[in-house]
Structure 1
Amino acid sequence: MNLISTRIITAQVEVLISFYEQVTGLTATRFTPDFAELKTKTATLAIGSTRTLQFFGGDSVAQPAQNRTVIIEFRVDDVQLLFEKLAVSLKSYILQEPTLMPWGNQSLLLRDPDGNLVNLFTPVTPEAVEKFRG
């Protein structure tokens, strides 16, 4: 089994697409006005409007901007450089500037416009680098 994608359900599709395009440097593929994807080398971040819930059983299946348990994580080449690039434009979304975590990653923590936690990280200790090698 392989994790292929994570989908965020939102009432503000274009706002979230813009945020994640800015954070990742990727361009989203918009399949419809209600659904887009940002593809990385290893997985996809999908963004769907609340209107897409009708295909999954209705509005009660998911509620936008209600997540308080999941962190969406992106490994980046240089989190400090990315922080310097995004610090002004995303200042209101930054929760924690780059910080060395006990498990060896330098992490920048953001909250997206819907309140979802986003961790941008770079492995920096030999053990963390080895973990993500290959």
Structure 2
Amino acid sequence: MNLMSVRVITADVKKLVEFYNHVTGIAAIQYTDDFAELQTQWATLAIGSTRTLQLFGGEEVAKAAQNRTAIIEFITKDVDNDYKRLADFLQHCIVQKPTTMPWGNRSFLFRDPDGNLVNFFTPISAEAIKKFDGKLSSR
């Protein structure tokens, strides 16, 4: 079994797609007005509108902009450069500037327009580098 994607439900697909296109530099594929995917080498961030909830059992299945438990994480070559590149764009939604974590990653945390927590991280300890060997894309 392999994790393929995480889906974020939103009231504004266009706004989230534009946000993730900007911060990742990866162009999302917009299949319909209600569904898009940002595909990376290892997993996909799916973005679905609240209208898609009818396909999954109704509006009560999920609530847009209500997440306070999950973190959407992207591995990156140089989190400090990403911070410099995005600091102005993200100035009002930065949670934590690049910080070295005890488990060997350097992490930069911010929130997307719906309030979802996003982590850009770079492995920096020998153990973390080994753990993520081959998982960093060429982007």
- TM, length-normalised to structure 1: 0.98
Give the whole-Å Cα distance in 2 for the aligned partners of 1:89 and 1:53.
31
Deviation at 1:63, TM superposition (A): 0.5
Give the whole-Å Cα distance in 1 for the aligned partners of 2:91 and 2:14.
19
Q: Which residue of 1 aligns with 2:111?
A: 111
SS of the equivalent of 1:109 reads strand
Give the whole-Å Cα distance in 2 for the aligned partners of 1:32 and 1:133.
35
Give the whole-Å Cα distance in 2 for the aligned partners of 1:39 and 1:9.
16
Q: Which residue of 2 aligns with 1:72?
A: 72
Q: Which residue of 1 aligns with 2:49?
A: 49
Q: Which stretches of structure 1, 4 residues or more, deviate above 2 A after TM superposition?
A: none
Amino acid of the structure 1 residue aligned with 2:79: V
SS of the equivalent of 2:92 reads helix
Give the whole-Å Cα distance in 1 for the aligned partners of 2:18 and 2:96.
21
Amino acid of the structure 2 residue aligned with 1:13: V
Give the whole-Å Cα distance in 1 for the aligned partners of 2:97 and 2:59.
36
Deviation at 1:99, TM superposition (A): 0.2
- The gaps in structure 2 that reach 5 residues or longer are 135-139
Count of matched residue positions in the alignment of Structure 1 and Structure 2:
134
- TM, length-normalised to structure 2: 0.94
Are 2:19 and 1:6 aligned? no
Matches within 5 A, 1:70-109: 70-109=70-109
- The gaps in structure 1 that reach 5 residues or longer are none
Give the whole-Å Cα distance in 2 for the aligned partners of 1:47 and 1:38.
8
Q: Which residue of 1 aligns with 2:21?
A: 21
CA displacement 1:34-83 (0-9 Å, x = unmatched):
00000001000000000001100110111101111000100001000011
